[in-house]
Structure 1
């Protein structure tokens, strides 16, 4: 064994030394903090904060009234005003504390404003971080970035950033030939958040550009957006690991384990993902199509990686797995075109003229707004029933998204009005009972 290696400190000893150094730094900071002038500075800071609070209470009502009168302003400007109104106390505190520091530097020793400068720097950076992180829409991500940035800025301002970094670096574990420290994990998380935010912005801009291109079909637009999102988020993940120095060759074993897991436990998930890609490639369905799957009838709201969102006429939203659309029988009412033929059945009495019934039914159906006149309705006799002559009326529409039940109801109503106007009757089953013998046998209790 190399004597030099034997004398090297162990990771535990490094961690203990770093912790002791950090404690010593903190003790020195607290010793300087407990000086009398520091308490005066804390009192001055609290007085400035109280003044800022009173000013914010005084200015908030007229500021709100002024905001309510900004009717023609864009939404983003109003949101900025709301953020300013919520942070008005800190916005007033920051210039007041810096103005007070400048005055005190002219009247007293700089050492007597040391703590006030730290408080002013903390307030300024905290305010800036709070305003900037409002751009992050995800509440969980916004809170993580905000509090993480506040913690690091605070450590930097009080002069404990290097010691904290050394402490996090000493807290590590050995995985094979790689050393994984807590500081490395923190760096990876920060870079990953930044790169994911960048990837989200780029994917949103790219998706908007694809949707504006009318030469690309809706299904290919969805496929392009999904492919771009996967590529950007995957690149962000691997780039973050690479920037912090993680050896990506070690991920080969992890990818093999993931493959085994996909083969056994994630069959349905993978099947839905592959089915979604097939649906996007063959263009069998696309956003806006009207489909029927079993008892579900509605139009496609969105195509997801795992499911298809279908909105029905009653406002319900069904999330149907992609695999069901591949393996099941789907009726796409608007696949190649928007034309849909509908059939309704009715019957009239035997004494009504069938030729007149057909003519009147066709005219009644043609009078309905959504029924196409360039594809005129037709009416045929389909049978002679027990009580009526049975007919079928066929007509075409070009807007299945407007609903099918309502157009059938309108045609039935037009038939009712036309039949009533022309004296045609819609029969109902009738039964005639004849008594063959008027003399009924007596009941048992009536016999002698």
Structure 2
């Protein structure tokens, strides 16, 4: 609900506002018919042509200069690009200010009054255009920019009070609830500015938190999420309060939201709560290598609703947080990054098993990714139909680099080592014997 307006203010008729604005517009255009005002308009038009031609030549050279810049921070390049886009207006406003200051010294102030107004107006437009770049959302940035441009123009033309009364007269009333176009405009502009400030603060704080190595990765994600939620929620409430909204009426809205959550948003709420639990108990954190069903990869990001898991083949799976809580998850790097891998192979019965075990261990240790801090072992696990069966066990500390590739490297090292020591790898063979015709039943 909106705060009630001052009851002492008299109601203003829409027709009165239009009549007063028309009278001021007529007076303004009559003033332009004076010779001194016409001279100022002519001089400003001439400066437009001159600065436009200069800016065309300067922008081409400035664009070539910008292309030659390398190694500069991105924010510097963005600001230089904005200057290049507004170079004509910068030159024109600078010339207006120079002309205005000169005319103030050599002639009557009335002969430079119009130039002064346009110079101030152009400076304000430029300031708004540059300041609005902190708003990264294009839609919000346009709302803030155009809203401030319109307000500044009306202010310097002394029409802002009339415009405010006009917008305030366009309202809808439901009992004690009144909503005017002026309230909506103020809410959009103020909330947009607060959102921009919240985003800038959030980005700076997020970068500081992520660079702090004393905080665990899961706690960094939780702190960033809580900070963003607090800043953006505060921006909304402060923006509504600043334009006169009565926030006590949100109690009814919160009750309606509670009913909606109970019926239609169970899964969404479950994923949100599961995400908070994951961040608090640190069971899964960015960078961990996990297996969930047929999905094997590492955690890229932890979101409010899902976790992003990137596999070795470049696929990115968005797994709901609820699945990470309710299903069995294999975390290959929960407490440490040590992972043991097993390889099964067999050799012929004619080969010495003592020699085979020693050769297999040395071959595995020759692979770069094998961790030398934990011993590699090889054991006989059975006597098969065609071979003596072995298992080779070794450790790695970089599961994020893949498991299949390191297994392949160990198999290749075994092949080379067995070839060098004449150790054979048997395979099933079939013998077909042709019976003589007399031997057939």
User: TM-score scaled by structure 1?
Assistant: 0.87
1:197 aligned partner? 196
Deviation at 1:352, TM superposition (A): 2.4
Quick check: 2:134–2:196 contact (8 Å CA) kept in 1?
Answer: no
Deviation at 1:432, TM superposition (A): 1.9
Deviation at 1:421, TM superposition (A): 0.6
State the distance in 1 between where 2:72 and 2:367 align: 45
State the distance in 1 between where 2:39 and 2:439 align: 119
Q: In 2 relative to 1, CA 328–194 (structure 1 residues): closer, same or farther, beyond 3 Å?
A: same
Deviation at 1:368, TM superposition (A): 1.1
1:263-342 aligned at under 5 Å gives the runs: 263-342=262-341
1:4 aligned partner? none
Deviation at 1:374, TM superposition (A): 2.8
Kindly indicate whether residue 250 of structure 2 is the aligned counterpart of residue 251 of structure 1: yes
SS in 2 for 1:125: helix
1:83-118 Cα deviation digits (max 9, x unpaired): 222222111111112333445556766555444333
State the distance in 2 between where 1:99 and 1:313 align: 64
Deviation at 1:63, TM superposition (A): 3.7
Kindly indicate whether residue 417 of structure 2 is the aligned counterpart of residue 396 of structure 1: no
2:152 aligned partner? 153
Quick check: 1:343–1:394 contact (8 Å CA) kept in 2?
Answer: yes
1:408 aligned partner? 407
1:3 aligned partner? none
Deviation at 1:396, TM superposition (A): 0.9
Identify the range of structure 1 (320-329 vs 19-28) with the bigger mean alpha-carbon deviation. Answer: 19-28
What RMSD over aligned residues (CA atoms) do the two structures have, in Å? 2.8
Q: In 2 relative to 1, CA 304–125 (structure 1 residues): closer, same or farther, beyond 3 Å?
A: same
Q: In 2 relative to 1, CA 321–127 (structure 1 residues): closer, same or farther, beyond 3 Å?
A: same
Identify the range of structure 1 (219-228 vs 209-218) with the bigger mean alpha-carbon deviation. Answer: 209-218
Kindly indicate whether residue 113 of structure 2 is the aligned counterpart of residue 135 of structure 1: no
Deviation at 1:244, TM superposition (A): 2.1
Q: In 2 relative to 1, CA 327–173 (structure 1 residues): closer, same or farther, beyond 3 Å?
A: same
State the distance in 2 between where 1:204 and 1:16 align: 49
Deviation at 1:358, TM superposition (A): 1.8
SS in 1 for 2:214: coil
1:114-155 Cα deviation digits (max 9, x unpaired): 443333233222122222222333333322222221111111
Quick check: 2:143–2:189 contact (8 Å CA) kept in 1?
Answer: no
Q: In 2 relative to 1, CA 439–77 (structure 1 residues): closer, same or farther, beyond 3 Å?
A: same
Identify the range of structure 1 (14-23 vs 34-43) with the bigger mean alpha-carbon deviation. Answer: 34-43
SS in 2 for 1:237: helix
Q: In 2 relative to 1, CA 433–300 (structure 1 residues): closer, same or farther, beyond 3 Å?
A: same
2:426 aligned partner? 427
User: Aligned residue pairs: how many?
Assistant: 433
1:228-250 Cα deviation digits (max 9, x unpaired): 22222222222222222221111
Q: In 2 relative to 1, CA 350–31 (structure 1 residues): closer, same or farther, beyond 3 Å?
A: farther
Quick check: 1:341–1:396 contact (8 Å CA) kept in 2?
Answer: yes
2:343 aligned partner? 344
1:444 aligned partner? none
Identify the range of structure 1 (250-259 vs 357-366) with the bigger mean alpha-carbon deviation. Answer: 357-366
Deviation at 1:56, TM superposition (A): 1.8
1:18-42 Cα deviation digits (max 9, x unpaired): 3343344334434444667655544
Q: In 2 relative to 1, CA 440–48 (structure 1 residues): closer, same or farther, beyond 3 Å?
A: farther
SS in 2 for 1:309: strand
Identify the range of structure 1 (131-140 vs 58-67) with the bigger mean alpha-carbon deviation. Answer: 58-67
Kindly indicate whether residue 91 of structure 2 is the aligned counterpart of residue 92 of structure 1: yes
2:358 aligned partner? 359
Quick check: 2:349–2:387 contact (8 Å CA) kept in 1?
Answer: yes
Q: Which runs of 5+ in 1 are unaligned?
A: 1-7, 442-448
